[in-house]
Amino acid sequence: MPGPLLHLGATVTCAHAGPAAPTMTNPRVTVSGQPTALLTAPYRVTGCALPPPPTANGPCVTGQWTLGTTRVTSTGQPLAILGGTALCAPTGTPLLTLAAQLRATAS
């Protein structure tokens, strides 16, 4: 599935509006002057509004992309793309990409 590459400056949140950022980026491939996000590197979620147990199973702490590029890799690793899928832990809810660059796409 092709899509625009995600980068460090992309606006990504958990389903409860907690900002998320990659824990590790790929400096070998840049878009909009910023390093791209690796599919294999988890995202760190901060400020998730979901309450902890026993009220709910939150807050979201990390997010992991499960679907990204299949044909394009960098340093042997796939990249995260807009439209890919990701799940947060421990809640099992998705990461949402609200804004990203649209010039460089990959599949």
Measure Cα distances from 81 to 25, 32, 38, 51 in Å: 13, 14, 9, 29
How do beta strands 11-14 and 77-78 pair? unpaired
Arithmetic mean of pLDDT, 94-101 = 96
Residue 58: pLDDT band with limits 50, 70, 90: confident
Tally of domains within the chain:
1
Ramachandran bin of 8, using left for φ above 0, alpha for ψ from -120 to 50, beta for the remaining angles: alpha
Question: CA nearest 83: which of 102, 58, 55?
Answer: 102
- Residue 15 in any domain: the answer is yes
- Residue 106 in any domain: the answer is no
Question: What domain range includes position 31?
Answer: 3-101
- Residue 107 in any domain: the answer is no
Q: What is the pLDDT at residue 60?
A: 97
Q: What is the pLDDT at residue 47?
A: 95
